[in-house]
Amino acid sequence: MTRPIAIPSFSPSPHLPLSPSFRRRAFTLVELLVVIAIIGVLVALLLPAVQSAREAARRVQCLNNVTQLGLSLHNYEFHHETLPPGVTNPDGPIRNEPQGIHVSWIVKILPYFEQNAAYRKFDQSLGAYDNANAEVRAIEIKALQCSSDGTPFTNDARTIARSSYVGCHHDTEAPIDKDNHGLLFLNSKIRYSQIYDGSSMTILIGEALTTPDVLSWVSGTRATLRNTSAIEIAQPYLGPAQARNDEKEKAGSLFVGGFGSHHPGGLVTVGMADGSSRYISPRIEPEVLHLLGNRADGEMVKPF
């Protein structure tokens, strides 16, 4: 009877050097630092592109908001045969103070951009500052907010919500009153036949640098109305104290101010009276900007 032959094991001895196929390789410290440095450079190159893409998306969203508000104003005009008043109040000029009726043009068009509940809850006869309208006064509406605006959209007490978008009441710096040259002003009822310079050459709405200390989007003050006196440049928001100091530096409660935005380069999104939306550079010629805020100056507007 034959015995099975035992085959000897040929596993390498721990005392013998391993062949190249058996050796394990690892990163040295220098190689690891080089890899980290390369990753850091790639991230640094990629980050501006990501930020640029995000800002481009914000600008598109802002443009959509302005277009939506412009269409809402057109729908209002279609039903009432006039644009809404920029502010409803017994008399003027309008002061940037919580005294009076001061119902804004935004309140008038609420049903035309899917805000029917807010419109029904708001009692226009009581005015913008009555306690009965406190709930609506504090509502944040996304269609009124520019996503590039990093400033809080409500005050600290969450009793006032603001809008990034305002109507054009005049072509130069002047109080909001019944004799303004824009399209939305005190008790205005402008028909499209009264826009003698052409609706594509007249600004209807645009962006403004508002702060949580304004009198809410329901108020027809500088919170929702501006003029084409100048393009304001955004400054970092440092809190309510800074906002109050900025207001004190203005020319009293009758000061209104111009348009402005938080977009890079200061580009301002505006809605023209013909329903189109576009961007205006802060480097626009002042004379051209003034003409865009006047509905019937009889002057031709250069390309802008």
Q: Residue 102 domain-assigned?
A: yes
Q: Residue 224 domain-assigned?
A: yes
Q: Residue 201 domain-assigned?
A: yes
More confident residue, 119 or 243: 119
CA dist 284 → 55, 231, 255, 268 (Å): 22, 9, 22, 11
What pLDDT, in 10s, does the model give residues 157-191?
A: 999 999 999 999 999 999 999 999 999 999 999 99
Least confident of 51-60, 80-89, 253-262: 51-60
Q: Does the pLDDT of residue 88 top 70, yes or no?
A: yes
Q: Does the pLDDT of residue 14 top 80, yes or no?
A: no
Domain that holds residue 104: 53-292
Strands ordered across the beta sheet of 258-261: 258-261, 225-233, 165-170, 203-207, 268-272, 277-280
Q: How confident is the model at residue 304 (pLDDT cuts 50, 70, 90)?
A: confident
Q: Report pLDDT for 212.
A: 83
Q: Does the pLDDT of residue 16 top 80, yes or no?
A: no
Q: Report pLDDT for 87.
A: 98
Q: Residue 301 domain-assigned?
A: no
Residue 164 has which token pair?
Answer: 């990034």
Q: Does the pLDDT of residue 25 top 70, yes or no?
A: no
Work out the average pLDDT over 134-149: 94
Percent above pLDDT 90 for the chain: 67
The tally of domains found in the chain comes to 1
Cα separation of 72 and 174, whole Å?
27
Q: Residue 302 domain-assigned?
A: no
Q: Does the pLDDT of residue 247 top 70, yes or no?
A: no
Burial of 120 (0-12, 13-18, 19+ CB in 10 A): exposed
The helix (H) or strand (E) run that includes residue 222 is none
Q: Residue 82 domain-assigned?
A: yes
Q: Report pLDDT for 248.
A: 47
First CA to last CA distance, the chain: 108
Q: Residue 35 domain-assigned?
A: no
